[in-house]
Amino acid sequence: MIRAHDVEQVRAAEADLLARLPEGALMARAAAGLGYAVLDLLGTAYGRRVLLLVGSGDNGGDALYAGALLARRGVQVEAWLLSEAAHLGGLEELRRAGGRVLPPPSMGQEPHVPTPESRGSVPNRNDFDLVVDGIVGIGGRPGLRPEATKALQAVAGIPVVAVDTPSGVDVDTGEVDGPHVTADVTVTFGTHKPCHLVDPAARACGAVHLVDIGLDLPEAPIESLQAADVAALLPRPASDAHKYTRGVVGVRAGSAAYPGAALLSVAGAACGLAGMVRYDGDAAAADRVRAAHPEVVGPGRVQAWVVGSGSDDGAEDAVRLSVADDVPLVLDADALAFAESARGRPAVLTPHAGELARMLGVERSEVEARWLAHARLAARRYDAVVLLKGRHTVVARPDGQVRVTMTGTPWLATAGAGDVLGGLIGALLAAGLDPFDAASVGSWLHGAAATQASAGGPIVASDVAAALPGLLADLMGR
* pLDDT level of residue 391 (50, 70, 90 thresholds): very high
Same domain? 262 vs 274: yes
For the segment 331-350, what is each residue's pLDDT rounded down to a tens digit? Answer: 999 999 999 999 989 999 99
Both 195 and 323 in one domain: the answer is no
308-317, 399-408, 441-450: least confident range: 308-317
What mean pLDDT is reported for the chain? 93
pLDDT in tens, 244-283: 999 999 999 999 999 999 999 999 999 999 999 999 999 9
Residue 85 has a pLDDT of 84
Q: Which CATH number belongs to the domain containing residue 391 in this structure?
A: 3.40.1190.20
| Number of structural domains in the chain | 2
Note the pLDDT tens digit of each residue in 157-199. 999 999 999 999 999 999 999 999 999 999 999 999 999 999 9
Distance CA 238, CA 352 (A): 36
Query: 160 vs 38, 82, 165, 185, 216, CA distance in Å?
Result: 10, 16, 12, 7, 29
Domain final residue pick, 193, 208, 224:
224
pLDDT > 70 fraction of the chain, expressed in percent and rounded: 95
What pLDDT is stored for residue 103 in this prediction?
A: 64
Pairing relation of β-strands 394-396 and 402-404? antiparallel
Binding residues for (6S)-NADPHX: 58-62, 137-143, 164, 261, 310, 352, 419
pLDDT of 368 over the 70 cut: yes
**Do 311 and 252 contact (CB within 8 A), yes or no?**
yes
Q: What is the chain's length?
A: 478
Task: State the binding site for AMP.
Answer: 389-393, 418
Q: Tell me: do 386 and 350 sit in the same domain.
A: yes
Residue type, 440: S
Comparing 110 with 60, which gets the higher pLDDT?
60
Q: Say whether both 408 and 359 belong to one domain.
A: yes
User: How much is the pLDDT for 83?
Assistant: 85
How large is the average pLDDT for residues 418-445? 98
Residue 463 — φ and ψ, nearest 5°?
A: -65, -35
- The pLDDT value recorded for residue 116 is 36
For 337, phi and psi rounded to 5 degrees? -65, -15
140: pLDDT strictly greater than 90? no
One domain, residues 216 and 129: yes
Average pLDDT over residues 127-155: 93
Q: Of 176, 197, 224, which residue is a domain's last? A: 224
Please say which residue of 189, 224, 259 terminates a domain. 224
Residues 134, 245, single domain; the answer is no
Q: Would you list which residues are annotated within the binding site?
A: 58-62, 133, 137-143, 164, 167, 261, 310, 352, 389-393, 418-419
Summarize the annotated binding site for K(+) as residue ranges.
59, 133, 167
One domain, residues 234 and 264: yes
Angle, CA 391 vertex, CA 345 and CA 357 arms, to 5° = 55
pLDDT of residue 119: 38
CA terminus-to-terminus distance, the chain: 16
Give me the torsion for CA of 320, 325, 329, 333, rounded to 10°: -20
Same domain assignment for residues 80 and 156: yes
pLDDT at 107 over 50: no
Mean pLDDT for the stretch of residues 315-331:
96
For a pLDDT cut of 90, what percent of the chain falls above it?
Answer: 91
Domain match, 365 and 377 both: yes
pLDDT tier for residue 126 given thresholds of 50, 70 and 90: low
Q: Are residues 192 and 328 in the same domain?
A: no
Largest CA distance in the chain: 86
The DSSP string of 223-278 is EE--HHHHHHHS----TT--TTTT-EEEEE---SS-HHHHHHHHHHHTTSSSSEEE
Q: Provide the pLDDT confidence category of residue 123 given band limits of 50, 70 and 90.
A: very low
The string of pLDDT tens digits covering residues 191-222 is 999 999 999 999 999 999 999 999 999 999 99
Whether the predicted pLDDT of 12 surpasses 90: yes
Same domain, 214 and 285: no
Q: Is the pLDDT of residue 379 over 60?
A: yes
Query: The domain containing residue 117 runs over which residues?
Result: 2-224
Residue 100 shares a structural domain with residue 134: yes
CATH of the domain at 68: 3.40.50.10260
pLDDT at 216: 97
If you average pLDDT over residues 349-362, what whole number do you get? 98
Distance CA 178, CA 144 (A): 7
